[in-house]
Amino acid sequence: MRKVWFVGAGPGDPELLTLKGQRLITEADAILFAGSLVSDAAMQWAKENCEIQDSKGMTLEEITDWLISRAVDNATVIRLQTGDPSLYGALVEMVQPLDKQSIAVEVVPGVTSAMASAAAAVETLTLPEITQTVIFSRVEGRTPMPQGESLAELAAHHCTLCLYLSITLLKIIESELSAAGWANDAPIVVVYKASWPDEQQVIHGTLATIREKCKAAKINSQAMIIASPTLGARHWPEIKKSKLYDANFTHRFRKADKNTED
């Protein structure tokens, strides 16, 4: 059977590949990786005779033609993508030509940079009674946003915003969040190359200061922007704690401790 695997390489650190993704790399006969975003360290597990090609200079048609030509019976062919293939990964655009050729497709998820960035900054994206909602989005640039998804409209929810592909648009972010009622001192975290060994940078700032801080650090690509009312919570004197671990809270695995009930 002819088949192509779309494998999420994660945010950068090859150790954040899933076990399944790593296993497939060891078995692969051909790997097409997004070299501008995926660390070539992920190829360390490939066998000697594996054909490895960097796609950073290729068009969509060249990418799909390459995958189709390598997808012969019983071959393990991998498209290795940054983060998770289903998020800003042009997945469907690549799958449709494979479908037309009756080539089977399977997707292996990966760790997306929003999660890796929160981990790098030791931040939580949700917190009881602060926000329970996380929005993954981007700022309108050359690709227009659908109606109802402008940053100002999304920011009006005052929940956690994880903004991809937008580090060069910090001036617009400041304007849109301000229009949505975010204060100048609202905390913002920018993480450059989250999880990349020896390259990761975490920049803490506010809506009013983050642009200048990123400019001073010369961060203008491969960065995640997190705006959230939860940022900095580890330093708050008090937080609302999860009911899941509350001694007064009964759930199907544990009954409330009657000695602590009011």
pLDDT in tens, the chain (262 residues): 899 999 999 999 999 999 999 999 999 999 999 887 887 888 899 999 999 999 999 999 999 999 999 999 989 999 999 999 999 999 999 999 999 999 999 999 999 999 999 999 999 999 999 999 999 999 988 888 999 999 999 999 999 999 999 999 999 999 999 999 999 999 999 999 999 998 999 999 999 999 999 999 999 999 999 999 999 999 999 887 766 666 666 666 667 666 655 4
Predicted local confidence at residue 228, as pLDDT: 98
Given this model, what pLDDT does residue 99 score? 97
Using CA atoms, how far apart are residues 195 and 187, in angstroms rounded to an integer?
21
pTM of the model: 0.89
Q: Tell me how far CA of residue 142 lies from CA of 42, 83, 164, 169, in angstroms.
A: 30, 22, 14, 11
Mean per-residue pLDDT over the chain, rounded:
92
- Residue 193 burial by CB count (10 A; 0-12/13-18/19+): exposed, middle or buried? buried
Q: Are 214 and 227 in contact (CB under 8 A)?
A: no
pLDDT at 42: 87
* Structural domains present in the chain: 3-108 (3.40.1010.10), 113-235 (3.30.950.10)
- Structure confidence at residue 259 (pLDDT): 66
pLDDT recorded at residue 139: 94
- pLDDT computed for residue 247 by the predictor: 62
pLDDT of residue 37: 81
Check residue 248 and give its pLDDT: 61
Residue 181 in tokens: 């009622």
**pLDDT value of position 38:** 84
pLDDT value at position 19? 97
Beta bridge partners of 192: 201, 223
